[in-house]
Structure 1
Amino acid sequence: MGIKVVPYTEDRVPAVKAFNQRMADGGTGWGWYEWAEDRWLPRRDGLHVWREHFLAVDDDDEVRGAYALKPQAWLVHGETLTVTDWQGPVSEGLLSRRYAALGLRMIRDMLKKYPLLYSWGHGGNEAAMLQLLVALKWLIHDTPFCLKVCHPIRFLRRNAYLRDSTRNRLALDLLAFSGAGWLGFKLLHWGLGLRGPAHRDATAEEVPSFGAWADALWERCTTAYQALGVRDAKTMNALVPAEGWPNGIRLRVRRAGEDIGWAVVLDNQLENDPRFGDLRVGCVADCLALPEDAGAVVAAATRFLEARGVDMIGSNQSHPAWIEGFGAAGYLVLRDRRCFAVSPALQDALAPFEDTRTGLHLTNMDGHGPHGF
């Protein structure tokens, strides 16, 4: 039976729903969006970032797999290139060996459409996918997760990822109720925060959108990074719309009346989340500043989220200055928690990568957005 990859159109929604039902019945935990037009980033004239979806269908027009692409203008070594993230692929290879090669087929199809391809978000539970990418000569670059626990007792009592066994639950409850956990986290973050200035002179103001001030900041930053997605006002207003996902809060960060950067933060009360349980989770989902001002922006964004009452704050980062800024703000920097997977063609564009990686700026907003927060 032949398989073809086609654009996701409205008439194929029933077939996607049937695909999702088969995946659910098989206990895979995976599925695909049950709407054809992307609700986050639909394609619009004049906008240089969007998402498009594709389906792998058989001769009977049954959906057997799916993936999404997010092309975006990037600035790489001063040149504007279209660099594309992929989400998925999801396929019935999880259910039947008949479709075992479909994931590879879809990756090759992605590369034909957009050779400058990357994925930002693979972790340890996706070892098989990473092994496949390595076999295809993709570059895998490990990056950290930055974590700050604001309310230790709630973190210990509600974190589903840590409380995955009776033994762990008992140990965490002991730490919570004895006060040792509270004291330990407070001392940890206090000690980590001694490594850098507090940046009390940097202030964060919540704003309804990105304006001319953001364009001016973007222009100042274009020569300060080796590779990053374009972050002008038009792009950011598309990535962080006034309504709907990802429900980002835009912070304009100033010092002595001058704009030094911005951050997009999230504040979400989760329920039964597989990682964070019922925690109120903050996230620094995106940020921009000159590298020397990164620490000030992190400090201002952190104070803003702490004042709102979040239980913890997390952020994925790649640039050394931003990682250092999170560390100086008292965050625990957990190494090698997220992979930046780079296609051979994109490797060529980023070459020499050993130099470029020191100026590579990735945040949770890159890739397919701040899922999981």
Structure 2
Amino acid sequence: MSLRIVPYQVEHEPAVAEFNARGQAHEAPFGLSKTALSAWLPKQEGRIVVRELFLALEGAEVRGGFALRRQPFWLRGAVRDICNYQGPISEGIWDRRYMMSGVQMLRAALRECPLLYALGMGGVEQPLPKLLAAAGWSMKPIPFRFYVLRPSRFLREIRPLRRTKLRAAILDVAALSGLGSLALWARQAYRTRHRLPNGSRAERVDRYEAWADTIWMKARDAYALTAVRDQAAQNVLFGDGNVKNMTLRCQRNGQDIGWAVVRSTVMQDDKYFGNLRLGSLVDCLSIPGEEANIVALATDYLRELGSDLVVTNQSHTAWLNALSARGYMEGPSNFLFACSPQLAQELGPLSGALGTVHCNRADGDGPIHL
């Protein structure tokens, strides 16, 4: 069934409300934006990072929709317009007549922005990654790393390790006896090869200023692909007054070496993290060679806030090496990076190229579950 893919306009809002009602009745995982202007990253004059919404129409009826997050990227030495394909959903979930709507929306997104990528998606077994793989997209998981700050709390709350009564009982004994804490501290200490130089400090700031542009200019050539992370882009993403996002300006002896965006969130009966206070390294950038110092300063800041655990997804080899040098451990990842055939052609095979890409949770829907 052929659908028209059009930009979401105010006059479509009643039909979107009807689509969402049908979706709710069929237990759809999420719905479309209630308003034509995106609540997050709305399109505004002069803003370089925006989120545009599109609808799949059959006559006047809405049968699906998706979003494109537009942002300038640094791709092999030049600034290019690249988009993130976000939140596609269609009536094909509950009505077989619209099973091909997902394909039609993806094709429309590629016409709108051929250099397209998708991020997250919950693992390769989910519908969107399966569709992208069938369409010839390249795909790999972005590595997941974690550091335990409070071992006893970690052992009592980490849900994936407590899925059976026996496992839970063993971890409770390990936490109560102190043996589990000792083992975790020893493992992390053994892995830690980096020491923070004297004169290093992190200052929490509300806005990115000229210092961020200086870091960006020094850092960008270290990456084959990265979103432009200058002050204009970062202020759109993290200078909006959201108190959950904490930007750390990192210096040594008064000289800027990089920055990090962190969160420290008290989880509530989370399926992965239980009731831990979860620290997260959401985004980061540094002068080449300073990555481990940024990781150390961010981790220490989250420790001071009382975080039990720090987690992050990072793709670039330099950041993964920095995390390892600070004692971070590796866990399973369902956070995928997928790129269109056109983007893959310019970037190269992901089997080797992913380690040259600087990508994390800041490059998709944001830290929505952290």
The alpha-carbon deviation at position 100 of structure 1 amounts to: 1.9
Aligned residue for 2:366?
369
Q: 2:320 aligns with which of 315, 318, 323?
A: 323
Question: In structure 1, how many angstroms separate the alpha carbons of the residues matched to 2:96 and 2:237?
Answer: 38
**Does the aligned pair in 1 maintain the 2:225–2:358 contact within 8 Å?**
yes
Deviations 1:1-32 (A, max 9, x none): 65322222333334333333333332343323
Aligned counterparts, 1:1-373, within 5 A: 2-61=2-61, 63-124=62-123, 126-193=125-192, 195-199=193-197, 201-244=199-242, 247-334=244-331, 336-351=333-348, 356-373=353-370
Query: What one-letter code is carried by the residue in structure 2 that aligns with 1:294?
Result: E
| Counterparts in 2 of 1:24 and 1:294: CA distance versus 1, 3 Å | same
Q: Is the 8 A contact 2:8 2:54 kept in 1?
A: yes
Contact 1:150–1:306 under 8 Å retained in 2: yes
Structure 2 unaligned residues grouped into runs of 5+: none
Shifted more, 114-123 versus 264-273: the winner is 264-273
Cα separation, 2, equivalents of 1:156 and 1:13: 47
> 1:145 touches 1:316 (CA, 8 Å); kept in 2?
yes
8 Å CA contact 1:40, 1:239 repeated in 2? no
Indicate conservation of the 8 Å contact 2:205/2:248, yes or no. yes
Q: Tell me the CA shift for residue 240 of structure 1.
A: 0.6
C-alpha displacement at 1:354, in angstroms? Answer: 5.9
On the 8 A contact 2:260/2:298 being kept in 1, the answer is yes
Letter in 2 for 1:187: A
SS across alignment from 1:38: coil
Secondary structure of residue in 2 paired with 1:44: coil
| CA offset digits 1:88-137 (Å, max 9, x no partner) | 21223222222222212211111111000001213436444323222211
Distance 2:151 2:188 in 1: 11
Q: Aligned letter for 1:349?
A: E
- The change in CA–CA distance for 1:154 and 1:57 in structure 2 (over 3 A counts) is farther
Is the 2:92–2:101 contact (alpha carbons within 8 Å) kept by the matching residues of 1? yes
Q: Please give the alpha-carbon distance, in whole angstroms, between the structure 2 residues aligned to 1:338 and 1:260.
A: 28
* SS of alignment partner, residue 304 of structure 1: helix
Following TM superposition, by how much is the alpha carbon of 1:303 offset from its aligned partner in structure 2, in angstroms? Answer: 0.4
CA shift, 1:292, in A, is 0.9
The answer to whether the 8 Å contact 1:261/1:290 transfers is: yes
User: Secondary structure of the residue that 2:18 maps to in structure 1?
Assistant: helix
The change in CA–CA distance for 1:256 and 1:37 in structure 2 (over 3 A counts) is: same
Alpha-carbon distance between aligned partners in 1 of 2:230 and 2:327, rounded to the nearest angstrom: 29
2:206–2:239 CA contact under 8 A, matched in 1: no
Match of 1:85, SS? strand
Structure 1 residue 164: Cα displacement: 4.4
- Structure 2 CA distance, aligned partners of 1:175 and 1:55? 53
3-state secondary structure, aligned to 1:275: coil
Cα deviation for residue 334 of structure 1 reads 2.7
Deviations 1:317-341 (A, max 9, x none): 0110101111111111236542210
What SS class does the counterpart of residue 42 from structure 1 fall into?
coil
Q: Residues 354 and 96 (structure 1 numbering): CA distance in 2 closer, same or farther, change over 3 Å? A: closer
Q: How far apart are residue 248 of structure 1 and its match?
A: 1.2
Count of matched residue positions in the alignment of Structure 1 and Structure 2: 370
Contact 2:124/2:334 (<8 A) preserved: no
**Whole-angstrom distance in 2 between the partners of 1:163 and 1:27:** 29
Q: Are the equivalent residues in 2 in contact too, given 1:265–1:285 (CA < 8 A)?
A: yes
Deviation of 1:166 (Å): 4.2
Counterpart secondary structure, 1:222: helix
Contact 1:71–1:83 (Cα < 8 Å) also in 2: yes
**SS in structure 2 at match of 1:31:** coil
Aligned pair in 2 of structure 1 residues 281, 34: CA closer, same or farther (>3 Å)?
farther
- Which residue identity lines up with residue 11 of structure 2 in the other structure? D
TM-score, scaled to structure 2:
0.92
Indicate if the aligned counterparts of 1:86 and 1:368 stay in contact, CA closer than 8 A: no
State the distance in 1 between where 2:23 and 2:290 align: 47
**Aligned partners of 1:222 and 1:107: how far apart in 2?**
30
Partners of 2:177 and 2:17 in 1: CA distance: 49
Distance 2:173 2:24 in 1: 37
Whole-angstrom distance in 1 between the partners of 2:58 and 2:251: 55
